[in-house]
Structure 1
Amino acid sequence: MLERPGDQLLKHLTPTRHPGLAFTDRTAGADWLHTEAGCMLACARRHAADTGEPLRKAVDLLQALNDLIESGTYSRMYATAATDLLAATRTAGDARAEGRARTVLAHVHSLAGRFTAADEEAAEAVRLAHECGDVLPLCIASNFRAIVGIYQQRYEEAETYCVQALNSFRNDGNHNGAASALSNLSRIHGHTGRTESAVRLAEESLDIYRDLNVSWRLANGRYAYGMALASAEQHERALAQFSEALSIFRSNRQRMWEGWSLYRMAEIHHAMGDHAQGASHAEQALARLRGISGEWRRGDILAVLGHCLDRLGQRERAYACWTDALSVFEQLGYEKEAAAVRGLLRLAKA
C-alpha cells in the first residue's frame, strides 16, 4: 500500500478475483480515491441487499475506504452506507461481517462525537472478533475503545483497551496500527500527569511513521507529538509539531484534521498569552470544519475562541461564543463541558 506501508489491512480483506488498479505514486492514488469516492460508497451500499461474499466485500470496502471519513468530505455518505451494511449483516446472520461493520460504525460515531454509541459498537465488534477469530476488529475496535475512553475521561479503562490494541497490532505485524495505539497511549499518559512518558511514547510512534515513510499518517504522528509536548507545557515545540501536521493534512486534503490542528494551535496560543493569534486560529478552525465535523468539536473551539476574545477585551463576542458553546454541549448531553461554560457565563455577567 502506497499510503500505509506496514499496514496489514489487505491480508485480512475478502479476496477478489480482479487485479484492480495500480498507482505509481500517492498523489495519483489519492486523486482517484476522492474522484471515485461517491461511486464506491454507493456501490458498497447497493450490496446491502446481498449475502455471503458480496456482502463481506462491501463491508471490507468501507474498511479500506476509512480515510475518506477522516477527510470529513464524505462523512454522511459513509455513515449511511455503514448503517445499511450493519443491518444487512445482522439480517444475514454473518457474525464476521457484522463485527467488521460495527468496527466501521464505531469509527463513524467517534468522529461525530457520539462516544457512547461508538463504544457500544466497538465493544460488540470486539466480542464478535473473539467469537469468530477475526483479528481485524480485535485490533481496530480495541483502539477505538481507547479513543472513546480518552474523550470520556475514563483513562484507566482507555489504557487497558489501548494496551490490548497495541498488543494485537504488534502480534499481527501491523506497524501502522501499533503507531496509532502508541499515540493514543501517549495521550492517556499526558492526561494523567505522566508527561515524560507521554512525550517518549509519542516520539516512538512518530519514529515508526518516519521509518515506514508514510504520508499523511505522519501528520497524525506529529499531531500526537504536539499533544504530548503541550501536556508537558513545551508550547513552542508543540506549536511547531501542529504547524507541520497542518501542512501535511492540507496537502493530503484532510479537512477535518486541518480543522482539529488549527483548534489545537488556538489552544496553545491562548496558553502562551497570544490571544489574537489564538482567536485567529480558532476562527479558521470553525470555518474549516463547517459542515464536515461533529458539533462536539465546534463546542470546544467556540469555548477557546471565547477565552481569547475575552482576554482581548471583546466581551460581547466572547459571551456569544460561550452561549453557542453551551447550546452545543447541552444538546449533546456533555454535562461536564456545559457546566464549565455556564461558570464562564456567570462570571461574564458579574
Structure 2
Amino acid sequence: MWQAALDAAAHLPDPSTRSRAHRILGHACARLGLHEQAIEHLDRALDLAVRPRDPAEQGHTHRALAVDWELRGDDRRTLQHARHTLDLYRAFDQPVREAEAQNLVGWLAARLGEYDAARDLCHAALTLYRQHHDPDGEAATLDSLGFIAHRTGDHRQALDHYHQALTLFRTVGYTYEVANTLDNVGHPHAALGHHEQARAVWREALELYWD
C-alpha cells in the first residue's frame, strides 16, 4: 500500500507528501528486516524534509531511522538519530513527542552505560507525560527508570518503578508490554535474592507471551 502511495506521491508537487511516503515505506521495510531498502527510503525522506525545512517531518524521519538501527542492534547509531529527533521535536513545541524522544534517548544512554544522563532525561520525560496525561508514555518511561535503577544497583527502586509501570500498562490493556515489564521485574528480584518472586513473574510473563 505504501509503495502505491509513493508512486502516487511522485506526481505531486509537495515534497512533504513524498517525504512522508518514503518515511512510512522505509519504516515498513525496517520492520520486515529489509534494512538496506529501509535506509534508502529513509535517507530520501530526510533529504526531502530538509530542503523545504520541515522540522516535524525531519523529526519523524530521524525517529524511523532510530527504529531501523535499533532493530539492527546498533545502539550508538540509534542514539545518534534519537538525539536528532529530540532536538527537532523541541524546536516545534510538541511536548508529548519531546517526552517520547527524551525517554528513547534516556533508554539508549542507559544501555550504553550513561546512567546519570539517562536518569535525568527519563525523569524529564516522566514529568511531561504526567503533565499531559499520557499513561502509555508514563508507563514506558517508568519501565526505563526501572532498568536504570536496576543497572545502577538500586534494585528496590527498580521494583517500585516497574510496579508502577505494570499498573499503568494493565490499566490501558497493553498485554505485551505487561509481559515485557514482568520479565524486567524478575531481574531485581533475583538480584535481591527473591528467587520465588522472580520465578513467579517470569512464569506470568511467559504465559502472557504464549497467549
User: Normalised by the shorter chain, which TM-score bucket?
Assistant: 0.7 to 0.9
Instruction: Using the TM superposition, name which of 272-281 and 215-224 deviates more.
Output: 215-224
Q: Does 1:156 pair with 2:32?
A: no
1:277-318 deviation digits (Å, cap 9, x = unpaired): 111111000111224243211111000011111212222221
User: 2:59 aligns to what?
Assistant: 179
Amino acid at match of 1:243: H
User: 2:124 aligns to what?
Assistant: 244
Query: Following the alignment from structure 1 to structure 2, what is the Cα–Cα distance between the partners of residues 138 and 234?
Result: 35
User: 1:128 aligns to what?
Assistant: 4
Report how many residues are paired: 202
1:191-248 deviation digits (Å, cap 9, x = unpaired): 63452x4443333222222222332221122122213312321112111111110110
Equivalent residues of 1:155, 1:188 under 8 A apart: no
User: 2:150 aligns to what?
Assistant: 270
User: 2:190 aligns to what?
Assistant: 310
Shift in Å at residue 322 of structure 1?
0.3
Shift in Å at residue 128 of structure 1?
2.7
User: 2:140 aligns to what?
Assistant: 260
Q: Indicate the percent of aligned positions where both proteins have the same amino acid.
A: 21
User: 2:28 aligns to what?
Assistant: 145
Equivalent residues of 1:223, 1:261 under 8 A apart: yes
Amino acid at match of 1:259: A
Equivalent residues of 2:22, 2:41 under 8 A apart: no
Equivalent residues of 1:142, 1:165 under 8 A apart: no
User: 1:204 aligns to what?
Assistant: 84
Query: Following the alignment from structure 2 to structure 1, what is the Cα–Cα distance between the partners of residues 173 and 40?
Result: 28
Amino acid at match of 1:192: G
Q: Does 1:192 pair with 2:73?
A: yes
Query: Following the alignment from structure 1 to structure 2, what is the Cα–Cα distance between the partners of residues 169 and 294?
Result: 33
Gaps of 5+ in 2: none
Query: Following the alignment from structure 1 to structure 2, what is the Cα–Cα distance between the partners of residues 142 and 229?
Result: 28
Amino acid at match of 1:317: Q
Shift in Å at residue 165 of structure 1?
4.3
- Greater relative contact order (Cα < 8 A, sep 6+): 1
Matches within 5 A, 1:210-221: 210-221=90-101
Aligned residue for 2:172, secondary structure, equals: coil
Gaps of 5+ in 1: 1-123, 332-350
TM score, norm. by length of structure 1 = 0.51
Query: Following the alignment from structure 2 to structure 1, what is the Cα–Cα distance between the partners of residues 204 and 44?
Result: 38
Q: Name which of 196, 200, 210 aligns with 1:320.
A: 200
Equivalent residues of 2:26, 2:39 under 8 A apart: no
Query: Following the alignment from structure 1 to structure 2, what is the Cα–Cα distance between the partners of residues 184 and 226?
Result: 17
Query: Following the alignment from structure 1 to structure 2, what is the Cα–Cα distance between the partners of residues 230 and 187?
Result: 17
Query: Following the alignment from structure 2 to structure 1, what is the Cα–Cα distance between the partners of residues 175 and 28?
Result: 20
User: 1:235 aligns to what?
Assistant: 115
Amino acid at match of 1:299: A
Query: Following the alignment from structure 2 to structure 1, what is the Cα–Cα distance between the partners of residues 125 and 27?
Result: 21
